[in-house]
Structure 1
């Protein structure tokens, strides 16, 4: 006999014909649904999921992941990548392989779990190519570079230069040792500018220090001068120990650029031009450099002339400093 169903009865009748979730999967699925798939915070977001899912999988096995809705497979993918769960990846691969975007591949490299990276490369997922290698090189992930190379993927022609510019000495050694990537001598300039000491050390030892500054800038500038200008004390110390011929020019460059620690290091009292360096420091308003030079070489400096120069250039802090030693020079 037909009858009108009340709301409660209607809902119950409809629910009978719906595919619901098995009660056992409710706790992990609730946690998975709370995760917002935004790259950069996966480890933090999946922490609670891991605390729940790890014992759940130990109890139910990965075959029970089939009870999870397909809409959460992407969440499971990121969980498996971040926590290195190959069993979950095997399940997803069999159920419906996930398509990896460039960002997904980058995440795999950045997480740094080689068995996960190897899993996707072994199965030839789309995107495992030289772009993946480029990301590994750019971020200095040596183990990933080696793994990708072992799977027959070669880096781009500029790989060696890219690794040098980003300061990844271990990657540079690997690429150079395997004859990978073409060398551009201009790369040495970027290594000096960025102060990548270990890369510089390797390049010079390997005979790759042939940067032609005259061709690049139209005038000669030594490696030591460039390092001094950019303020890299450790690089300056290394280069000066190899060759002190350019110390006078580097001393002036450091004073001009305001790097007091380098000025102090290069101050050998013999080859350097202290008055010229003091003038450069005054003109450019580097009080700390002026203070050091006055303290170390006050007797050799014309403090009155320097104070007058500071006043003419409106370098008030420098002028005030010099007035302490040459009070007759006023604004």
Structure 2
């Protein structure tokens, strides 16, 4: 009698159904996902593409976990898609902070997955880092946490490892996104400065980081002033002119004119010697930056007829009409 009852249990039915052809209805969305998303794209230094995929997957997995729990994860989903254990399931759990799922996976699976702590760092899942601190971590963990300004994650990673795996991308990413507090923490870890950090800060308008790096004797290249001018960051152009010696190129005024940054164009014309090319006037003309065109024609065109001769006729006709 007791043996007969075994034949009516749900667990036995589940085991039988695993060996049947086809897919259970609740697994169909994951089959479609598996076709269109074979793997997670983890591209340093940005985590944005991966995060977008994980958010989309969360719309499937979140409700599915609530409906079926861990039992069906191992008895059905991972039986049908075994490679997901070290892929999507593990990565989604790290991103969403689902320790129950991570702990249910084989230690061998976790050990073979190199991006668990990297993803947890990018998603600010500190409890995942603490619980799985024995796993490996790469420089991407610092890069992604730095880009998001997650100082607590970076401090934990640095404290947990005597020789943290830091790449230049970490401080560059923090500089790009304006996270001064992260830049201040990271700077002592670098034996040699890099020009990329100040270039990135200047490009994106973070004067406080430019000043901090300058004060600590980090350097930049001509790209700093060129790109600050490109994006209209007059205060940074002024600071670099006053305090740095790297200078700029003709791209600075060309870019500023192209994007209609009149005050930047004026400052470069009055205080810098690099000048511009005919691209400055042509691009300002094409984009209808009337004030920039008037300034350049009044100040520059009359001083160099050969430059004026090289401007397309359609641009000259427009200039004469304003």
Q: TM-score range by the shorter chain?
A: 0.5 to 0.7
Q: In the TM superposition, what are the counterparts of 1:1-331 in structure 2 within 5 Å?
A: 32=26, 35-37=29-31, 38=33, 41-45=56-60, 79-80=64-65, 83=66, 88-90=69-71, 98=79, 99=82, 101-103=85-87, 104-118=89-103, 120-121=104-105, 124=106, 126-129=108-111, 131=113, 134-138=115-119, 140-143=122-125, 146-147=127-128, 149-151=130-132, 153-156=134-137, 159=138, 161-168=139-146, 169=150, 170-179=152-161, 182-184=164-166, 186-187=168-169, 190-191=172-173, 194-195=176-177, 197=179, 198-204=181-187, 207-213=188-194, 221=195, 223-225=197-199, 227-228=201-202, 231-234=203-206, 236-241=207-212, 243-244=214-215, 253-257=223-227, 258-268=229-239, 271=242, 277=248, 279-282=250-253, 286-288=257-259, 291-296=262-267, 306=275, 310-311=277-278, 316-317=282-283, 320=293, 322-326=296-300, 328-329=302-303, 330-331=308-309
For residue 323 of structure 1, report the CA deviation from its aligned partner: 0.5
RMSD between superposed Cα atoms in Å = 4.7
Give the direction of change, closer, same or farther, for the CA distance of 1:43–1:91 in structure 2 (3 Å limit): closer
Q: CA deviation at 1:202?
A: 2.0
Give a deviation string over 1:97-129, Cα, whole Å, max 9, x none.
8555322222322333233333x15xx464122
Partner of 1:5: none
**Aligned residues of 1:282 and 1:315 also touching (Cα < 8 A):** no
2:172 and 2:128 map into 1 onto residues whose CA distance is: 28
Query: Structure 1 residue 166: deviation in Å?
Result: 2.3
- 3-state DSSP of counterpart to 2:110: coil
Deviation at 1:233, TM superposition (A): 1.9
SS in structure 2 at match of 1:292: helix
* Aligned residues of 2:258 and 2:283 also touching (Cα < 8 A): yes
Q: Which has the larger radius of gyration?
A: 1
Tell which has more relative contact order, 1 or 2 (C-alpha 8 A, sep 6+).
2
Question: Is 1:109–1:117's contact at 8 Å kept on the other side of the alignment?
Answer: yes
Q: Give the whole-Å Cα distance in 1 for the aligned partners of 2:204 and 2:86.
A: 35
Structure 2 unmatched ranges of 5 or more: 1-12, 15-22, 35-52, 286-292, 310-322
TM-score by length of 1: 0.53
* Residue 318 of structure 2: aligned partner: none
What is the TM-score of this pair, normalised by structure 2? 0.54
1:203 Cα deviation after fit: 0.7
* Contact preservation (8 Å) 1:281, 1:287: no
Q: Distance in 2 between matches of 1:237 and 1:288?
A: 24
Evaluate the alpha carbon distance shift between residue 97 and residue 297 of structure 1 in structure 2; reply closer, same or farther with a 3 A threshold: closer
Distance 2:233 2:178 in 1: 17
SS in 1 for 2:191: coil
Q: 1:241-299, CA deviations, whole angstroms, 9 ceiling, x for partnerless residues?
A: 4645879x85954332343433433415972699x658452466753486223444766
C-alpha contact (below 8 Å) 1:278/1:293 kept by paired residues: no
Q: Is the 8 A contact 2:198 2:220 kept in 1?
A: yes
Cα–Cα, structure 1 residues 146 and 201, in superposed 2: closer, same or farther, change >3 Å? same
Instruction: Write the distance in 2 (CA, Å) between the matches of 1:291 and 1:202.
Output: 37
Give the unaligned 5+ runs of structure 1: 1-19, 22-28, 51-78, 214-220
